[in-house]
Amino acid sequence: MRSTRFGVAVAAVLAVTTLLTGCGGPTPTVSTGKSLTIGVTLEPPTLDFTVSDAASIPQALLYNVYETLVKIDAAGEIKPLLATDYSVSSDDKTYTFQLDPKATFASGTPVTADAVVSSINRMRQGTSQILQRGLSVIDHVRAVDDGTVEVTLSSPSNFWLYAMTSTPGIILDPAVTDLATAPMGSGPYVFDSWAKGDRITLKKNPDYWGTPGRFNDVAFRYIPDPNAMVSAMLSGDLDIMGEMISPDSLAQFSNSEAYTIISGTTNGEVVLGFNHDRSTLKDRLVRQAICYAIDRQGLVDTVWGGQGTVIGSMTVPTDPYYEDLAGAYPYDPAKAKQLLAEAGVTNLALSLRVPITPYAPPAATYIASQLGEIGVTVTVEELDFSSRWLPEVYRDGNYDMTIVSHVEARDIVNFANPKYYWHYDNADFRSALEKADTAAPKDFVPDMKVAARILADDAAADFLFDFPNLIVARAGIVGIGENATSLSFDVTTIAAKE
């Protein structure tokens, strides 16, 4: 493969920002020594991210407790963290990381090359699919010297370094024994306690090697009930409502002297997934008809209080290769009916089996009503996510349509896996994606745009909207990233003004 300047270019940017190491530029009037309570919805089943892919684990721990060699900042750029710098070999297969000599784990142990190597190797054993997908491309890892780590890939991958900014790249304290309940990392906060069903509390790492945390403790409170979340915020119990899951209640926080509303983007594409194993849905005309029949802006307005960006493919605005394809299937029920007729489909009846999440059942109600308008009978079923949606829809493919927000970054790759629950099998798309992954960095973005367009043209799914990063903070809380570019709820940049 060809050599690349991608890594070098990034490294140049990093050199300038090295000293900032993840700071979002706090105002001078910050106070330290207070506590921060963040209301979020889903509690992790376990804290062991090598076993579980639950997004709630990195939400609380990534960048706060665990650190990675490189991180993603709020603008979607790769920034240094434990590594001050890195370089890529000319064949794009070998990455050499220079570790920050100051870096230590919270336990006091320095972050050495050996620790990094053993951590990465440990991660490669993990059962988590995210870990396996991110790390399977690694051929071997070795410590060049105390402060230098060399990772050799089996083939070049534009996705790899990006994956290393998330859970696959977490560098564990070698002393950690119980990942499920006692995480140990090198971040500005250390894990303090987990009151199951209630909260996870982090406390300040007093010996943090970089810019110290600004709060003595940070609590993630788990409040699944949307009304209860709003009540907690309104009664002054929360500093930040980390996930505003009832956007209709936003009006309660319109007083800008008391609250700040942050509305940005996330990596979550809310997708109306089709089961491509179903004969009717194999037909592109039928899929396109469904896409034309759904008024996505209307859906966002009705289901998510008008918050969220209508998208047209499996990409979100913070992706470097994002292209606005939202106009691909404008709302046109007449056209939808015509396409159905063209496809020769009459009396179409489809199941819409959705997981119980704040967004999916309402979206299903909306979609069922709209598809009813073009004569498609939709039977909605709500399934518990872990215990029923996963085995029945995800594993066994027992569904026609479903709605899920795919929260991981760059999860467009899932469309290249015919075994993935959509059973989408498109050789053109696969080769386009493969081409982009292994392409020279300068070709990555245009190649990805091609791949994304294939999905849109093929109506591989109906890409409903980009899940908004909707956050309410009490006045005085600053530094919250507008766009959630990673799975982390990154508190390292947050401060409280007095």
Partner 1 sequence: MKKLTVIIGLVCSGLVVVAALVSLVWTPFDPRKVDGPARFAPPGWPHVLGTDAFGIDTASRLLVGAQTTLLVGVVAVALAAVIGVPLGVFVGMGHRIAGEVVARASDILFALPALLLAILLAAALGASVTTAAVAIGIATIPVFQRMARAATLTVMSQDYILAAQVSGIPGGVIAIRHVLPNITPVLGVQAAASFSMAILAEAGLSYLGLSAPQSTPTWGRMLHDANLYAAPIQAVIPGVAIAVAVLGFNLLGDGVRDYLDPRMKELR
Partner 2 sequence: MALLRAATRRVVIFLVTVLVASAVIFGIVQALPGDVALATLGMGASPESVDALRVQWGLDRPLALRYLEWVVGMVHGDFGASYLTGQSVVSQIGPPLAVTAWLVGLSMPLSLLAALPLGLVGAMGRRRWFGVSVNAATHVGLAIPVFFVGAILTIIFAVKLRWVRANGYVPLTTSPGEWAIRLVLPVASIVIVQACFLARYVRAGFIDVLTEDYYRTARAVGWTRWRGLWRHGIRNVATSVVTVIGLQLASLLVGAILVEQTFAMPGLGSLLVQAVRRRDLMVVQGVGMLLVAAVLTVNFLVDLAYLAIDPRLKRGGRS
Work out what residue 319 binds among partner 2, partner 1, none; the CB cut-off runs from 5 to 8 Å by kind: none
CB of 381 to partner 1, least distance (A): 6
- Taking CB under 8 A as the criterion, the residue among 137, 143, 261, 368 binding partner 1 is 368
The total number of residues shown for the chain amounts to 498
Euclidean distance between CA atoms 63 and 486, whole angstroms: 10
What is the bridge-based pairing of β-strands 215-222 and 199-204? antiparallel
Residue 369 binds which entry of partner 2, partner 1, none, with Cβ cut-offs from 5 to 8 Å by kind?
partner 1
Q: Are strands 34-40 and 240-241 parallel, antiparallel or unpaired?
A: parallel
Asked whether position 11 contacts partner 2 by CB under 8 A, the answer is no
Query: Between residue 299 and residue 318, which ones bind partner 1 under the rule CB under 8 A?
Result: 301-302
Stretch that binds partner 1, among 29-37, 145-153, 362-370, 400-408 (CB under 8 A): 362-370
Residue 474 DSSP symbol: E
Interface with partner 2, residue 221, by CB under 8 A: yes
- Interior angle at CA 149, CA 148 and CA 153, nearest 5: 150
3-state SS assignment for residue 237: coil
Q: Strand 240-241 to strand 189-195: parallel, antiparallel, or no bridges (unpaired)?
A: unpaired
Would you report the helix, strand and coil content of the chain in percent, each value rounded to 5? 30, 25, 40
* 184 is an interface residue for partner 2 by CB under 8 A: no
Which one, 388 or 497, has the nearer CB to partner 2?
Answer: 388
Neighbours of 481 (CB within 10 A): 21
The smaller minimum CB distance to partner 1, of residues 163 and 303, is found at 303
- Which residues fall within 8 angstroms of residue 206, CB to CB, at 6 or more apart? 212
Q: Which of residues 397-416 bind partner 2 (CB under 8 A)?
A: 404
Tell which positions 28-57 bind partner 2, by CB under 8 A: 43, 45-48, 51-54
Residue 350 found at the interface with partner 1 (CB under 8 A): no
Q: What is the dihedral of CA 412, 414, 417, 421, to 10 degrees?
A: -130
Compare residues 89 and 252 and give the one whose CB is closer to partner 1.
252
Are 31 and 496 a contacting pair, CB within 8 Å? yes
Tally the C-alpha atoms within 13 A of residue 171's C-alpha that lie toward its C-beta: 26
| 235, interface contact from partner 1, partner 2, none, CB < 5-8 Å by kind | partner 2
Q: Which residues bind partner 1 (CB under 8 A)?
A: 226-227, 230-231, 234, 246, 248-249, 251-252, 295, 298, 301-302, 356, 361-362, 364-366, 368-370, 372, 380-384, 387-388
Q: Which residues bind partner 2 (CB under 8 A)?
A: 43, 45-48, 51-54, 127-130, 132-133, 178, 180-181, 195-198, 221-225, 227-229, 231-232, 234-237, 384-388, 390-391, 394-395, 404
